Amino acid sequence: MKASQQLADNLQIVLTDLIELQLQGKQAHWNIVGPNFRDLHLQLDELVVATREFADDTAERMRALHALPDGRSATIAKGTRLEEFPAGLVNTKNAVKLVTERVERAVQTMRDVHDEVDEEDPTTADLLHAFISRLEQLVWMINAEIMNAGAAVTDPDEA
């Protein structure tokens, strides 16, 4: 199968956000300070490893479909949908919020292109499903670092 230009463009958008998320995860990893530093430091490495693998899977899928991935820094900087991560030290609570926003934005990118991808190539859509599932799991775990035990949760007795 050869990807249409639309499929190639959609996968490029996903690739761009995954590469940017990987870079921002590392930026956060190097510059966080404060409570739960070690746990968050290690969780950010998990996120970086996952996004690196997902970016590679995306680029290799593009090549399998005869599309050309573009991972050059200028392309990533110009095309990402993620906001820039702040420079300097970031306390762990703020880092969790910033990383959560960026992971959720990357997941939204995948959701935005999903239907068009699925229409042309369900196999590639399956990759997106796996990426979304794992990223949502990782961001839940990262976000749990700052959740208050009194935060609203679903009460099974109220359901």
The answer to whether the CB of 124 falls within 8 A of the CB of 117 is yes
pLDDT value at 16 more than 60:
yes
| Residue 148 pLDDT | 83
Tell me the pLDDT tens digit for each residue of 71-130: 999 999 999 999 999 999 999 999 999 999 999 999 999 999 999 999 999 999 999 999
| Residue 159 pLDDT | 41
CB atoms within 10 A of CB 61: 21
Q: Which residue has the tokens 């070690």?
A: 38
Amino acid in position 28? A
The DSSP code for 80 is -
